[in-house]
Structure 1
Amino acid sequence: MREVLIKILLAPLLLLQGLYVRRITPKLPEPSGERSGVSGNGPHMRLLVLGDSAAAGVGVPEQAQALTGQLVANLAQDYRVSWKLLAQSGLDTAQVMARVESTATEPFDAVLVSVGVNDVTGGLSAQDWAIAMHRLLDLLLWKYGARHVLLAPVPPMHLFPALPQPLRWYLGRRAKQFNLALAQLARSRMDCRLQQSNLSVRDGMLAADGFHPGASVYTQWADDSAATLRSFFTDPVSLGGRVVAAPPAA
Structure 2
Amino acid sequence: MTMRWLALGDSYTIGEGVPVAGRWPQQLAALLRARGIALTDPHTIATTGWTTDELDAGIDDAAPRGPFDFVSLLIGVNNQYRARAVDAYAVEFTALLQRALAFAGGNAGRVLVLSIPDWGVTPFAEGRDRAAIARALDDYNRAAEDICNAHGVVFVDITDLSRQHGAEPAMLVDDGLHPSAALYALWAQRALPLAERLLARDA
**Residue among 149, 152, 155 paired with 1:194:** 155
- Does residue 232 of the first structure (1) align with residue 190 of the second (2)? no
Question: In the alignment, is residue 49 of structure 1 matched against residue 7 of structure 2?
Answer: yes
Judge conservation of contact 2:13–2:24 (CA < 8 Å) in 1. yes
Equivalent residues of 1:157, 1:175 under 8 A apart: no
Q: Distance in 2 between matches of 1:140 and 1:113?
A: 7
Paired with 1:55 and 1:133, the residues of 2 have a C-alpha distance of: 16
Q: Provide, for residues 72-107 of structure 1, a one-character-per-residue CA deviation record: whole Å limited to 9, x for no partner.
A: 211222122133121111111111111222313321
Give, in whole Å, the separation in 2 of the partners of 1:193 and 1:96: 20
Give the superposition deviation at 1:116. 0.8
Aligned length: 192
In 2, distance between residues paired with 1:203 and 1:171?
18
- Asked if 1:73 corresponds to 2:2, the answer is no
Structure 2 gap ranges (5+): none
Residue type at the aligned position of 1:157 = W
C-alpha distance after superposition, 1:94-132 (max 9, x if no partner): 111112223133211211111111100112111211111
User: For residues 80 and 54 of structure 1, what CA distance do their matches in structure 2 show?
Assistant: 24
Residues 135-182 of structure 1: per-residue CA shift (max 9 Å, x gap): 111122334525322111111233122112343332222111101111
**Which of these residues, 151, 159, 164, is aligned with residue 121 of structure 2?**
159
Letter in 2 for 1:230: E
Alignment of 1:76-95 (within 5 A): 76-77=33-34, 78-82=36-40, 83-95=42-54
Asked if structure 1 preserves the Cα contact closer than 8 Å seen for 2:124 and 2:175, the reply is: yes
CA distance in 1 between counterparts of 2:52 and 2:4 reads 23
Q: Which has the higher helix share?
A: 2
| Contact 2:12 2:74 survives alignment (8 Å) | yes
Q: TM-score, normalised by structure 2?
A: 0.86
Q: Is the 8 A contact 2:101 2:111 kept in 1?
A: no
Tell me whether 1:63 sits opposite 2:20 in the alignment. Answer: yes
Query: SS of the counterpart of 2:8?
Result: strand
Q: Which residue of 2 aligns with 1:145?
A: 105
C-alpha RMSD of matched pairs (Å): 1.9
Q: Deviations over 1:203-228 (max 9, x none)?
A: 22122212110111011112222321
C-alpha contact (below 8 Å) 1:105/1:144 kept by paired residues: no
Q: Which amino acid aligns with 2:166?
A: V
Aligned AA (2:75): V
Residues 1:111 and 2:71 are matched in the alignment: yes
In structure 1, C-alpha distance between the alignment counterparts of 2:26 and 2:199, rounded to whole Å: 20
Higher relative contact order (CA 8 A, sep 6+): 2
Separation in 1, partners of 2:27, 2:65 = 26
Percent of counterpart pairs with the same letter?
Answer: 26
Partner of 2:176 in structure 1?
210
Q: Would the aligned equivalents of 1:108 and 1:146 in 2 still touch at CA under 8 Å?
A: no
Q: TM-score, normalised by structure 1?
A: 0.71
Larger radius of gyration: 1
The SS at the match of 1:81 is coil
